[in-house]
Structure formats: C-alpha cells, structure tokens
C-alpha cells in the first residue's frame, strides 16, 4: 500500500466534492471532511460532522462541534480546533474569513463576500428555494370526510396539513397526486336518511336555505335525539339498557336501510344519492373557501368491496388463517401486535381489507412508491397493521405506506364533544376569522382606496392566513390546544404578522427606484450584524424546505418564516433603506428586502396562505 498515492487520488476526488451550489453548512461539512482527511488521513462522511449556527454571544457564523471525533483523532479539542480552523481558512479563502476555538467548538466566520454573492445571485429568483423535479411520485391522501357531518376544526387541521405537505413535497421536486377517500356509505349515512324520512317532510337544502352538509348533519343529530328518546322509553317499559340500545326501532330501521342499500333497493339508493349530493355541494363550498383540492377522489361505496380477492390470496400464501367459524385472521403477535380479523364469519370484509384493496388499486393507477395518509393519531394502530399486512402479502406498495399521524385539536376546556355542543364548526370558524380581519383592517384604515372586490379578497387572505398558520405552526404529531381568543390574535407568532412584514417590504419596493434595486454593484463595506443576520437566514431557506419535506412537517416552514419576518422587522426599524448611509448600502438592502419578500411569499404559499401587497 502506498498511502501517498492513494491519498493523492482520494484528495483529488474529494476536492471536486465541494459543491458550490449546496448550502453553506453542507459546504462547510464537505470542507471539514476534506480537511480532516488531508491533515490526518482519516476518511469521514459529511453526516458525521455536526454543524450549528454559532450562538450570538460568540464570534462567528457557523460552528463545528469537535467532541465527536477527538477520540478517533487522538487530539485534544483545542489542538484539533486550531489545526482544523487554520486549514479551513487557508484552503477555502472564498468561504471562511476567520476562526476561533472555544472548548470543543470551532467557530468559523464566513466571508462577507460569500454572503453578498449569494444575495446578488438569488434576489431576482422568483423560485428561490424550489428544487428541480426529482422524477419521483408521491401520493398524499387527506381530508377523508364522512358524509353525515359537516367539517369541524379537526378536519381543518387535516386539510391544511395535507394540502401543505403536498405543496412542500412539490417544492422538494416530487410529483404529487392529492387524493381523498370519502366515507359515503355505512350505517352513519343511513341514520341521517332514516331521520330525514321520518321528520323531513320533503325538505331540501334549497327549501330551508341551509348548506347541504349542515342540512344532512342536522338529520344525523335528529336521529340521535330520537334514538335516545326511544331507548329511554324502552327502559321505562322494563327492558335493560343494553337490550334497549339494540332494540330501539329507529336503529333497527337504519340497519334495515343499510341492508336495502347493499341489496341495491332503488328507492334507498335514490335517497342515498340525493342526500350525499347535498353533502358534496356543501363540502365543495367549504373546500373552495379553504383552498383544498384533490386530483382524485375515491368513494367508499365503490371501494368497500375491494380486497376480497386479497383475502383468498393471503390464505393461499399462508399469511392468513381460517378459524372454525370460517372467519379469516392474521396473527401479528410475533410483531408485537394482536391477532386481527380480515374477514368476518358472514363473509363481509372489514375496514382494513378495503384499505389494502384500495392501496393496491392506487398503486396500479399511479405507480407511486410513496403513499402518505394524513389521518389522526387515533388510527396509529390501524395503519401499523395495514402496513404490516401489506408487507406480509408482499404488495409492491407496502414499504411506501406512511401514516402522517397528527394529534387531536383540543379546546382549552378539553376535547370537543358534539353532545355538549362544543364542536367548532369549520365554516363558522372560517367566516369568523374573515370577519375579524375585516374589523381589524377597518380600524387601521390603511386600504380605504380598495375596491370592494379587493377588500373581500384581502379579508380572506388575512383571515385564512391567520387560521392556517395557527394550525400549522405546531408539530403535526403533537396534539394542540385551540384557544379561540388567542387564535384570532394577529400579533406575535401569527400569519398576519408575516403578511404585514411582506406588505411593508412591498411598500418600500414600490417607492424605491427599480434601477437602484437592479444595480450591479460590488459590495465592499463590511456587513452590519443585522444585515448579515437576514442574509444568513435567507440562505437557509432551501435547507428548511428539505427538512420539512423529509419530516413531513409544515411547522418547520411556519417557524422559519416567522423568524425571518421578525429578523427583518428588527433590521428595518434600525437601519434605513431609502436613506441608507451610502449608495452601496441602499442597493444591498433593497436586494435583501426583495429576497425576503419573495421567501416569505413562498413560505406562506407552502402553508396554503397568501401574502397581500398592502393590508
């Protein structure tokens, strides 16, 4: 072995490895790997290098944490830091200006030149942060409503999450197919149908001037009222509670109706179609208002028989087994789960079976290797089982199944309960948010010259922006508390704050001279801390999108956007743009403002929110 030769070859290969297009932290990692190899002959990979933003109390921009490899290199952190810092600064003069070592931390200062070059190269790029197509396809299933109830606060979190994660994945370069599965059949809708037959007197959403989904939901409520009444009556007649709950006449009628539906009885099917039609009309109105859309909608009435042949296949393969009563099961105890039924003894299939069938159908239609299901965390177990069964059946789509599980939205008083009337209706909430944004806007009186169309659109943008931001700023996995009073605050960590900063920047840019903005200029004077802070933050945007896409977490975008807006706000109140101390600074700050506005716009768009030019 001739180390010099090998080193020589590898050194060349590694020098080429520093990619000028990647983020500054990535370049720093690559440079560190290269430095360690050239100094000590040890080859590391970039993901073993830990790079953090330098804490404000220390000199520098980025910090390499040295503790991780002091053992391997047999050097003290101080010596290692000094040697490494020296090497990095000497060999990457365009990147690093200076370094210092404190304890096990190597702090590096990036050259002002790097930052100003970055700004010049990107400030006119309207798609800054958006990645090129990567050729991969991913499906996102979200919303998935039941047709017996209007949408509520929990659905809003689902819809905003699903829409946002789809947009974030698009930004990361994926080809995204948004789908929705509508639960349009089953006992729940039969309950609404029965109640309508009993109490409706032929009423329709039109005759009662009610939104279709609310109209049908009202009959579901009526059903439950009547059911409770009947149960109470039966108990009074001396029947046990348990028995009464099974024998209530209205329940029996609903069950009969479900059977008639399955048998295809024409008048039942007709009623079913009519009531679902009303619901869809209502849903479409809501979807349009909140900006949800789907490339493909599946209906459970068309998918609930799917998967039956898969049960047979599973039995042949020995993945499933049959019990004496002829029901079919899968034993997942070896995987730490239970035994799970996949076909009842009467031959009807269960939820999980249809889901497997639908997964196969979707794969055959779209050939997407990744399929994301945006569904509440109460179904964690269900999706664990679904994925496992698909894997055991060796379905091609199995490994790509990902359950994007989100926590419940609670009120400060606890869970929403329909019985106690504490369910927050989606339509009510949306219109309330819009009404409040109108009121606040009018109080401030800055857009008195707007036409009524412009005003309507502005109130929508602000109201929905506030709502979406509020629901998306929290890590999806966690349950969250929705405080009606706080969520309508437009100050602090909110969507309207970001919209306000955007509008402000636009106002500055409108007043500025276009030529100043686009002036080609060498920036020679030193960057002030506030100037640098913004450019550093702007540079991170693509990495943030990557993170958010990798973790399916829109809150990363929300938090980043807010921080950027806040940094700009501080900067702006301290340093003048129009009356900057020099021509050079004026151009620089205009470009900073331009790119900040662009990034805020893109960031908010990825959350499904708009940013107004004025507000």
CA–CA separation, 313 and 330 (whole Å): 13
| Residue 332 makes contact with RNA by CB under 7 A | no
Binders in 525-544 for RNA, by CB under 7 A: none
User: For residues 286 and 487, which CB has a smaller minimum distance to RNA in the complex?
Assistant: 487
Q: Which of 82, 102, 235, 517 binds RNA (CB under 7 A)?
A: 102
How far lies 203's CA from each of 200, 266, 269, 285, in Å?
5, 20, 18, 20
| Residue 511 makes contact with RNA by CB under 7 A | yes
- Closest to 383 measured CA to CA, from 368, 367, 400: 400
Q: Please provide residue 297's backbone torsions phi and psi, each rounded to the nearest 5 degrees.
A: -115, 130
At which residue do the structure tokens 């504490």 appear? Answer: 422
User: For residues 240 and 380, which CB has a smaller minimum distance to RNA in the complex?
Assistant: 380
Task: Please check whether residue 225 is in contact with residue 205, taking contact to mean a CB–CB distance below 8 angstroms.
Answer: no
CA-only gyration radius of the chain, Å: 30
Stretch that binds RNA, among 7-15, 147-155, 278-286, 467-475 (CB under 7 A): 467-475
CA–CA separation, 535 and 529 (whole Å): 10
Binders in 111-150 for RNA, by CB under 7 A: none
CA–CA separation, 349 and 341 (whole Å): 9
| Residue 96 makes contact with RNA by CB under 7 A | no
Alpha helices by DSSP H, listed for 291-326, are 300-303, 308-317
Stretch that binds RNA, among 321-329, 357-365, 478-486, 594-602 (CB under 7 A): 478-486
User: For residues 286 and 598, which CB has a smaller minimum distance to RNA in the complex?
Assistant: 598
User: For residues 18 and 65, which CB has a smaller minimum distance to RNA in the complex?
Assistant: 65
| Residue 555 makes contact with RNA by CB under 7 A | yes
- C-beta of 50: minimal distance to RNA in Å? 3
User: For residues 101 and 182, which CB has a smaller minimum distance to RNA in the complex?
Assistant: 101
| Residue 566 makes contact with RNA by CB under 7 A | yes
Where does residue 543 rank: exposed (0-12), middle (13-18), buried (19+ CB within 10 A)? Answer: middle
Three-class SS of residue 249? helix
User: For residues 179 and 461, which CB has a smaller minimum distance to RNA in the complex?
Assistant: 461
Task: Please check whether residue 233 is in contact with residue 261, taking contact to mean a CB–CB distance below 8 angstroms.
Answer: no
**Exposure class string for 254-270: b at 16+ Cβ within 10 A, else e:** beebbebbeeeeeebee
Q: Is the dihedral of CA 537, 542, 543, 545 positive or negative?
A: positive
User: For residues 99 and 304, which CB has a smaller minimum distance to RNA in the complex?
Assistant: 99
| Residue 584 makes contact with RNA by CB under 7 A | no
User: For residues 396 and 492, which CB has a smaller minimum distance to RNA in the complex?
Assistant: 492
Size of interface with RNA, in residues (CB under 7 A): 75
| Residue 393 makes contact with RNA by CB under 7 A | no
Q: Please provide residue 394's backbone torsions phi and psi, each rounded to the nearest 5 degrees.
A: 55, 45
| Residue 489 makes contact with RNA by CB under 7 A | yes
Give the pairing type, strands 51-53 and 62-65: antiparallel
Q: Which of 37, 118, 199, 493 binds RNA (CB under 7 A)?
A: 493
CA–CA separation, 261 and 282 (whole Å): 23
Binders in 426-455 for RNA, by CB under 7 A: 437, 440-441, 444, 446
Q: Which of 256, 327, 543, 569 binds RNA (CB under 7 A)?
A: 569
CA–CA separation, 246 and 258 (whole Å): 16
| Residue 614 makes contact with RNA by CB under 7 A | yes
Q: Which of 39, 78, 104, 516 binds RNA (CB under 7 A)?
A: 104
Binders in 396-415 for RNA, by CB under 7 A: 407-408, 412, 415
Q: Which of 31, 36, 51, 356 binds RNA (CB under 7 A)?
A: 51
Task: Please check whether residue 341 is in contact with residue 219, taking contact to mean a CB–CB distance below 8 angstroms.
Answer: no
Q: Which of 149, 473, 585, 601 binds RNA (CB under 7 A)?
A: 473
- C-beta of 568: minimal distance to RNA in Å? 9
Binding mask 206-235 for RNA (x = CB under 7 A): ------------------------------
Q: Which of 10, 18, 39, 65 binds RNA (CB under 7 A)?
A: 65
- C-beta of 295: minimal distance to RNA in Å? 29
Task: Please check whether residue 119 is in contact with residue 531, taking contact to mean a CB–CB distance below 8 angstroms.
Answer: no
Q: Which of 198, 455, 508, 517 binds RNA (CB under 7 A)?
A: 508
Token output for 99: 């370094």
Q: Which of 34, 46, 107, 111 binds RNA (CB under 7 A)?
A: 107
| Residue 323 makes contact with RNA by CB under 7 A | no
């Amino acid at each position: 072995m001739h180390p010099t030769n090998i080193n020589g070859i590898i050194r060349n290969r590694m020098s080429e490895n520093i990619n000028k297009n990647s983020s500054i932290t990535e370049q720093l990692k690559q440079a560190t790997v290269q430095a360690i190899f050239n100094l000590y002959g040890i080859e590391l990979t970039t993901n073993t290098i830990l790079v953090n933003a330098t804490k404000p109390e220390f000199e520098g921009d980025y910090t390499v944490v040295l503790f991780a490899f002091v053992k391997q290199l047999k050097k003290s952190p101080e010596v290692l830091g000094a040697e490494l810092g020296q090497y990095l600064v000497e060999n990457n003069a365009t990147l690093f200006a200076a370094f210092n070592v404190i304890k096990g931390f190597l702090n590096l200062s990036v050259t002002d030149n790097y930052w100003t070059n970055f700004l010049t190269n990107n400030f006119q790029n309207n798609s800054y942060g958006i990645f090129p197509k990567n050729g991969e396809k991913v499906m996102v299933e979200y919303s998935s409503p039941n047709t017996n109830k209007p949408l509520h606060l929990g659905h809003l979190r689902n819809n905003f999450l699903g829409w946002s994660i789809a947009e974030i994945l698009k930004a990361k370069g994926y080809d995204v197919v948004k789908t929705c599965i509508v639960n349009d059949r089953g006992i729940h809708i039969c309950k609404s149908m029965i109640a309508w037959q009993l109490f409706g007197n032929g009423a329709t959403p039109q005759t009662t001037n009610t939104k279709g989904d609310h109209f049908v939901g009202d009959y579901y409520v009526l059903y439950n009222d009547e059911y409770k009444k009947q149960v109470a009556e039966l108990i009074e007649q001396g029947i046990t509670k348990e028995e009464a709950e099974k024998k209530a006449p209205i329940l029996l009628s609903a069950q009969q109706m479900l059977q008639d539906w399955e048998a295809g009885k024409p008048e039942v099917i007709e009623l079913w179609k009519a009531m679902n039609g009303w619901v869809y009309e209502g849903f479409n109105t809501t979807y349009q208002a909140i900006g949800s859309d789907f490339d493909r909608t599946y209906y459970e009435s068309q998918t609930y028989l799917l998967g039956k042949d898969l049960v047979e296949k599973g039995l042949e393969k020995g993945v499933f087994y049959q019990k004496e009563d002829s029901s079919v099961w899968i034993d997942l105890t070896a995987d730490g789960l239970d035994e799970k039924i996949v076909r009842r003894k009467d031959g009807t299939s269960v939820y999980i079976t249809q889901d497997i069938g639908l997964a196969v159908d979707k794969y055959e239609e779209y050939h997407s290797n990744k399929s994301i299901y945006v569904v509440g965390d109460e179904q964690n177990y269900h999706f664990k089982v679904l994925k496992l069964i698909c894997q055991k059946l060796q379905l091609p789509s199995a490994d790509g199944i990902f359950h994007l599980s989100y926590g419940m939205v609670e009120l400060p008083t606890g869970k929403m309960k329909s019985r106690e009337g504490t369910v927050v209706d989606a339509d009510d909430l949306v219109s309330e948010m819009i009404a409040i944004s109108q009121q606040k806007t009018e109080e401030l009186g800055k857009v008195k010259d707007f036409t009524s169309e412009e005003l309507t659109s502005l109130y929508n943008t602000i109201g929905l922006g506030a709502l979406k931001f509020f629901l998306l700023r929290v890590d999806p996995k966690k349950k969250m508390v929705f405080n009606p009073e706080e969520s309508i605050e437009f100050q602090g960590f909110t969507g309207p704050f970001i919209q306000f900063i955007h509008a402000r920047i636009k106002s500055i840019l409108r007043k500025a001279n276009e030529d100043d903005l686009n002036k080609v200029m060498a920036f020679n004077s030193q960057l002030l801390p506030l100037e640098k802070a913004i450019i550093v933050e702007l540079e991170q945007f693509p990495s943030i999108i990557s993170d958010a896409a990798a973790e399916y977490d829109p809150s990363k975008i929300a938090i980043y956007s807010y921080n950027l807006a806040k940094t700009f706000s501080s900067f702006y109140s301290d340093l003048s743009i129009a009356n900057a101390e020099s021509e050079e600074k004026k151009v620089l700050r205009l470009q900073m403002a331009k790119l900040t506005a662009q990034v805020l716009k893109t960031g908010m768009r990825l959350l499904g929110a708009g940013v107004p030019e004025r507000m």
